[in-house]
């Protein structure tokens, strides 16, 4: 893993893949992490009685945090990762502005099984190194879709960063991720191979979701504002 530091950010790079892009202040990265953060923020409104409950599966150096906090989310954020070594960079760079971020070192599915809490948003940003690039780990395909469904509250949404999986076509992979929910919303990213799957009781209506994500990106000031589209899909 290579660490690239500039005056305004720290990047974690693994071969051709950008693992984390952590800004030194809250704000847009103008890349994929803006889209991921906007999808999370769009479906985590909370209410006057409580703060939204947001869980991140996969953290690395916390690249999603700068855009997420810039969108006004001051609520606690729970994050789970197998290794917290990259999180030391996050603590060094972002401790002054990141707010309440509760990190747990654990395997994602085991952690979810041991915690019965219901979440407004669960972000699956888990990746592993494939032969040539980052891919989704088996747990993200075989276990987490149903487990996340069972841990979502009323109106909750699972936000999955979708990357290729060996021996599965994109359609087969998306069907596997959608199946526990029956239907989902698929975010196509113009500049990235990644796609984002939004599933759960709160993910209803491609047009409404598009407007919500656009509003979040507009508030953020991200260049990704016009570089995505959302469509509905059902499991095959």
Read off the tokens for 179: 């199946």
Read off the tokens for 159: 């936000």
Structural domain boundaries, residue 228 = 26-234
Q: Per residue in 132-191, pLDDT tens?
A: 889 999 999 999 999 999 999 999 999 999 999 999 999 999 999 999 999 999 999 999
Q: Per residue in 2-51, pLDDT tens?
A: 889 888 889 888 888 888 899 999 999 999 999 999 999 998 865 556 78
Q: How many CB atoms lie within 10 A of CB 96?
A: 8
Q: Per residue in 64-74, pLDDT tens?
A: 999 999 998 78
Domain presence at residue 13: no
What pLDDT sits at residue 47?
57
Task: Work out the percent of the chain whose per-residue pLDDT is above 90.
Answer: 81
What pLDDT sits at residue 46?
57
Q: Which of 114, 183, 103 minimizes the C-alpha distance to 149?
A: 183
Mean pLDDT computed over 92-112 = 96
CA distances from 170 to 61, 142, 163, 195, 209 (A): 28, 15, 9, 10, 22
Domain presence at residue 40: yes
Read off the tokens for 24: 């030194």
For residue 106, what is the domain's CATH number? 3.40.50.150
Domain presence at residue 185: yes
Domain presence at residue 38: yes
Give the chain's domain count: 1
What pLDDT sits at residue 173?
96
Tell whether the model's pLDDT for residue 217 goes beyond 70. yes
Read off the tokens for 45: 């409104």
Domain presence at residue 17: no
What pLDDT sits at residue 50?
76
The string over 201-220, giving b where at least 16 C-beta atoms fall within 10 Å of a residue's C-beta and e elsewhere, is ebbeebeebbebbbebbeeb
Domain presence at residue 128: yes
Please provide the distance, in angstroms rounded to a whole number, between the alpha carbons at the two ends of the chain. 37
Taking the model in full, what pTM does it have? 0.95
What pLDDT sits at residue 132?
82
Mean pLDDT computed over 113-137 = 93
Domain presence at residue 8: no
- Name, in order, each residue with C-beta under 8 angstroms of 222's C-beta and a sequence gap of 6 or more: 28, 29, 30, 34, 35, 38, 67
Domain presence at residue 43: yes
Of 130 and 187, which is predicted with more confidence?
187
């Amino acid at each position: 893993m290579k660490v690239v530091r500039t005056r305004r950010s720290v990047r974690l790079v693994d071969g051709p893949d950008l693992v984390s892009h952590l800004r030194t202040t809250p704000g847009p990265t103008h890349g994929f992490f803006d889209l991921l953060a906007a999808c999370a923020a769009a479906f985590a409104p909370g209410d006057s009685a409580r703060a939204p409950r947001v869980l991140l599966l996969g953290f690395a150096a916390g690249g999603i945090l700068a855009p997420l906090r810039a969108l006004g989310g001051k609520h606690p954020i729970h994050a789970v990762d197998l290794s917290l070594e990259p999180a030391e960079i996050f603590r060094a760079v972002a401790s002054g502005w990141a707010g309440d971020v509760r990190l747990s070192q654990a395997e994602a599915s085991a952690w979810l099984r041991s915690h019965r809490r219901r979440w407004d948003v669960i972000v699956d940003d888990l990746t592993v190194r494939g032969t040539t690039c980052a891919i989704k780990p088996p747990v993200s395909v075989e276990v987490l879709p149903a487990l996340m469904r069972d841990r979502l509250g009323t109106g909750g949404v699972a936000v999955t960063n979708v990357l290729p999986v060996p021996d599965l076509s994109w359609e087969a992979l998306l069907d596997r991720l959608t199946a526990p929910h029956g239907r989902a919303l698929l975010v196509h990213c113009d500049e990235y191979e990644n796609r984002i799957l939004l599933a759960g009781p709160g993910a209803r209506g491609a047009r409404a979701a598009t407007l919500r994500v656009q509003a979040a990106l507009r508030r953020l000031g991200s260049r990704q504002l016009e570089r995505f589209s959302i469509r509905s899909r059902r499991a095959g």
